[in-house]
Structure 1
Amino acid sequence: MKRADGPRHAWWYLAERWLLVLAALALVAGLFEPGVMTQRPLVDHIVVLDVTQSMNVTDERIDGEPVSRLAFAKHALRQSLLRLPCGSKVGWAVFTEYRALLLLSPIEVCANLKELRSTLAQIDARMAWSGNSEIAKGLHSAIGIAKLLPDKPSLVFVTDGQEAPPLNPHYRPAFDDKPGDVLGLIVGVGDLRPSPIPKTDPDGRPLGFWRADEVAQTDLRSQGRNASVRSEGMVKDAAGGNAPTLGATPGSEHLSALRESYLRLLAGEQGLEFVRLQSPERLAQALTSPALARPEAARFSLAGALAAVAWALLLARYVVPLLFRRRASRTGLKTRVS
């Protein structure tokens, strides 16, 4: 004859079987991977990395160790990939001379995290095909790439902002970009204090630092030479001769610092945001900014939730009797004491 005390009376045997049945149903339902459609903010970026020689300046730090600007930018991007919501996309491009070159079109981050990190690791200064660093033209080229990609991704342009050769502030390249056509960020990297620029051979072996007599200290127009693209027009500053500050330092162009004011100027002209790269967390926050996110339909899987429900039901089958026995033992103890 079964005992009627505790959880082992008739109702508990019935409840116990229902727990098993419900747990089994939850597990079976999970095998079909049910889901619901929701709207969630996702990002789609094409990241353009400046690989010119000034990005080799070691004025950044990772875990207290000095590293180059390019290495610091890559480290921050690598960490930021983990903070992007699944469904978001990222692609890579590089900038040198006066144009950007697409390396990898944007792909989904969670399913392709290994591939994204592997290709990012391979980007270095040896990819540069020229010693020039014409930032304004490179930004224009990068905007063109973003416009041509099917999903019109936002642009993340990572650079220290040093124009080489320097630009004449009264005569700047004129482009037909419409501000706001491409959303995105200009990410400034580097210290505000100037440092020597490392010189390397085509294989990346160090050759010391660039000297003042080896680097153009004034703009090409002042030297009576054409721009890099002959068909490009040069426009005088519309402010009636009050030329903007482009960060050039004649006589010290062999040294490099973050040209923040110039990058802010370019960002404002192109309808982009500017952020200074100071930590991976700050970069991840900028990359997931609501201003760059796009609400897209996404499927939220219920399989994990159903598995958790099944686990909870099975756990309850064993925990509830233990609680009843513990309560019964306390009641019995009180009765004997009384």
Structure 2
Amino acid sequence: MIKIYTKLRQDTNLLLLFLTFLCLSLALINPSIPVTRNIFNYIFIVDISQSMNTKDMTVGLEKVSRIDYTKATLRKVLGRLPCESKVSIGMFAGVSVAATYTPIEVCENFSAINSTIDNLDWRSTWSGNTRIRESMVNLARLIRSFPESAQVIYFTDGEEAPKLHVFNTRDLTQFQGGNDWLLAGVGTFEGTAIPKYDNKNQLIGYWSNESFALQPGMAQISQGNIGARNDYVASGASDRYLSRLDEKYLIDLSKEIKGRYVRATDEQAVLDAMGKQKPAWRDQSQLPLRHILILFALVIFLIRFISLNKIQRFFKK
């Protein structure tokens, strides 16, 4: 053994051939090492209630509604997610959240996911009310039904309709499901009237101030009646309810559920905030070393044909 070691030290060519043979032999065995991968699964929830039809956002030079702005931002975010990320698109209205599908791989299903975003529409709503706090519990229940966990990015203007008071405000201080969820605020701070459309998407007026007040005589603590509101259309400009991004409410809500808040000014702001979220989960897998060992063998084999003098002459030039 000592003689072999001495021979290898004295003969560089023999040493390189030995190392090449050793790497190839190990490659045949194909050893592996355990690695931990971060798994990034996301569900993007889009508020499709009628306040999201408010036109106070811009895409390029065009004035657009909050929901159209959210869709444009989502497309940009989607285009910058790395492959192997998984994505689901969900909708929120009333007190409920619905997912179009469980998270799917973003690159293989890029067109399908974009098509889902394109088809998000306020007319898919199943309730005229907006109970964001109530939806937190339902969203957590929805995610528990997924085969894999997912981090939440929730696009909303923070508009609760009707307005909250002590009897219709759910206490979320003990809520455990929202850890690291991201609430993305959409809208401006200037008050803008909320357009009211018919089922053919034709403008018929604007939501009135009375629409955001609880109906008189309603049992306000009744679960069945939670959050019902009037459906009045404003008769004049002075009657219109002016909607704005309720950022303070969303910040407080995000703290209450142990999540985060970001104002969705552009896709970069959203992506930066997503970068601070923890992975949905971690996966333990084996990294095979065969290809790395074959590459090492090739490099070592080629080195023996390059003399030290040639290397020195190359660097002197």
Question: TM-score of the superposition, structure 2-length normalised?
Answer: 0.70
Give the C-alpha shift of residue 130 in structure 1: 3.0
Give the C-alpha shift of residue 271 in structure 1: 1.7
What are structure 1's unaligned runs of at least 5 residues?
1-17, 19-24, 235-249, 313-319, 332-338
1:1-338 to 2 correspondences below 5 Å: 38-164=35-161, 166-174=162-170, 178-183=174-179, 184-203=181-200, 205=201, 207-208=202-203, 210-211=205-206, 213=208, 216-217=210-211, 219-220=213-214, 223-227=216-220, 230=223, 253=241, 255-292=242-279, 294-297=281-284
Paired residue total: 289
- Structure 1 pair 232–198 and aligned structure 2 pair: CA distance change class (3 A): closer
What secondary structure sits across from 2:261 in the alignment? strand
Question: TM-score of the superposition, structure 1-length normalised?
Answer: 0.66
Contact 2:93 2:127 in 1 (8 A): yes
Contact 1:42 1:85 in 2 (8 A): no
For 1:274, the aligned partner's letter is Y
For 1:39, the aligned partner's letter is T
Give the C-alpha shift of residue 294 in structure 1: 3.5
Note the aligned Cα RMSD (angstroms).
Answer: 4.3
Give the C-alpha shift of residue 304 in structure 1: 10
Contact 2:167 2:221 in 1 (8 A): no
- Structure 1 pair 36–130 and aligned structure 2 pair: CA distance change class (3 A): same
CA distance in 1, matches of 2:293, 2:72: 37
Give the C-alpha shift of residue 159 in structure 1: 0.8
For 2:255, the aligned partner's letter is G
- Structure 1 pair 129–293 and aligned structure 2 pair: CA distance change class (3 A): closer
Quote the sequence identity (%): 28
CA distance in 2, matches of 1:211, 1:54: 10
CA distance in 2, matches of 1:303, 1:67: 54
Give the C-alpha shift of residue 111 in structure 1: 2.5
Contact 1:140 1:177 in 2 (8 A): no
CA distance in 2, matches of 1:308, 1:115: 38
- Structure 1 pair 182–136 and aligned structure 2 pair: CA distance change class (3 A): closer
For 2:214, the aligned partner's letter is L
CA distance in 1, matches of 2:66, 2:205: 17
Farther off after superposition, 98-107 or 285-294 = 285-294
Contact 2:168 2:220 in 1 (8 A): no
**What's the counterpart of residue 15 of structure 1?**
none
CA distance in 2, matches of 1:140, 1:258: 22
What secondary structure sits across from 1:171 in the alignment? coil
Give the C-alpha shift of residue 174 in structure 1: 2.9
What are structure 2's unaligned runs of at least 5 residues?
1-16, 18-23, 228-237, 300-305
